Amino acid sequence: MKPFKPNPSMDCRIISEKVKFRIILSYPLFFLLCAFIFNTPIEIVNGLRKIILSPSILISDYMAVGNVGSAFVNSSLLMLLAILIAYQNKSHMTGSLIAAIFTVGGFSFFGKNIYNIISIILGVYLHSRIQKEKFSKYLLIAFFGTSLGPLVSQISFGLGLTPVLGILFGNIAGIIAGLILPALAGHFVKFHQGFSLYNIGFVSGMVGTFFMSIIRAFGKNNEKALIVSVGNNLEFSIILGLCFVSFLILGFVYNNKSFRNYIRLFRHSGRLIEDFVLMDGFAITLINMGTLGLISTAFMLLISGELNGPIIGGILTVVGFGAFGKHPKNIIPVMAGVFLGAYFQVWDITSTPVLITVLYSTTLAPIAGKFGWKAGLLAGFLHITIVMNIGDLHGGMNLYNNGFAGGLVAGTLVPIFESFRKEEI
């Protein structure tokens, strides 16, 4: 693999691709070790079996479906698989790839597993072969596209079909979804103009809605799920704290033992595509990821939230996008807007659906980054009203429900903001 050189004016030290891969690789390995703190190997294997056979629709916390250890192993395995595929395809450890790896790992706590992602990745691979292009070009779409994992699992195990038919139709649906995602991804980004970071979430919402409509047309439906675990805040706080402090330490060391130039990163709006690794360097990016992780975890604990699979998934996703669009300046206004929306509306502020909305609403961070904190506050306020009602369209089969809602919010607000900005000029 040829070394990729970031902008030398931003990186105090040039960090090789091998070192970057080793650093990112260390986190799924850490999760793997953590699994055995909670459960025995036999318990973990039995838990993984339950996870794989679960319909996995939103919200299915794998810590409750299986057990804590099996959820950590599942997340570790999927992150390791993503890293291996990226390495074999000679991809560079850019901010976008880091975001994809941590998003895969995060959602592997509540919806993605080693069974339901394979056919989707295969579908994207087949798309690349049909187009006679390298798979590496579509790698990010393949990883983010695993948001439709519950589509595969629900058809396979949740609709009452025979095992053979369920698995057959489930994987056919996954392959079809993977085949069409690349064609749709470039088209739908024009709708929100890059102001929603979870573009594949928006696309997957559309794809999931079409599949759900077909399923309902044949007299089937998805029952709503809210399966969450409780009672592990202390242990998870320690594990997450160690991860995020290590990001800060590594960034500090590779930045010549300083936090110099970190505040410069706040100048970015975060709008697609702003890759912090390429623009500000790997060391500064690690500092930003660690900072976002600590902020997100602290916020959850301060409002008496329960650290469970979906919440940890949300925190890891925020951390991953700390390499690709998010920083404290552009996420805090949006998170505050969601919090205010939940307070003044009918939602329970401490419930898992609201707390994951607070975290995943940061898909709209570029709005705050471009138009200011007031716009971010409004975007967050409106986001929670949309996201709490839009899941019925895809029946919980799109894990990136906030990406679906965020695309609609951004696609609506951005033209209005830009129109009034022109009027002021």
Q: Is the pTM of the predicted complex or chain greater than 0.85?
A: yes
Residue 8 covered by a domain: no
Task: Identify the DSSP state of 2.
Answer: P
Residue 5 covered by a domain: no
pLDDT tier for residue 1 given thresholds of 50, 70 and 90: very low
Residue 9 covered by a domain: no
How many separate domains does the chain show? 1
Domain that holds residue 316: 14-425
Residue 167 covered by a domain: yes
What is the spatial distance between Cα 397 and Cα 58, in angstroms, rounded to a whole number? 7
Q: 423 pLDDT exceeds 80?
A: no
What is the spatial distance between Cα 366 and Cα 399, in angstroms, rounded to a whole number? 21
Residue 2 covered by a domain: no
pLDDT tier for residue 2 given thresholds of 50, 70 and 90: very low
Residues 185 and 147: beta-carbon distance below 8 Å: no
What is the spatial distance between Cα 174 and Cα 334, in angstroms, rounded to a whole number? 33
Residue 1 covered by a domain: no
Q: 389 pLDDT exceeds 50?
A: yes
Mean pLDDT across the stretch 272-284?
94
pLDDT tier for residue 254 given thresholds of 50, 70 and 90: very high
Segment 21-70, tens digit of pLDDT: 999 999 999 999 999 999 999 999 999 999 999 999 989 999 999 999 99
Residue 46 covered by a domain: yes
Residue 252 covered by a domain: yes
Cis peptide bond upstream of 59, omega within 30: yes
Residue 68 buriedness (CB in 10 A; 0-12 / 13-18 / 19+): buried
pLDDT tier for residue 117 given thresholds of 50, 70 and 90: very high
**Residue 277: CB partners within 8 Å, gap ≥ 6?**
6, 93, 94, 95, 98, 285, 323
Q: What is the DSSP string of 336-349?
A: HHHHHHHHHSSS-T
Phi-psi region of 230 (alpha: psi -120 to 50; beta: other; left: phi over 0): beta
Count of C-beta atoms within a 10 Å radius of residue 422: 8
What is the spatial distance between Cα 301 and Cα 159, in angstroms, rounded to a whole number? 37
What is the spatial distance between Cα 326 and Cα 335, in angstroms, rounded to a whole number? 12
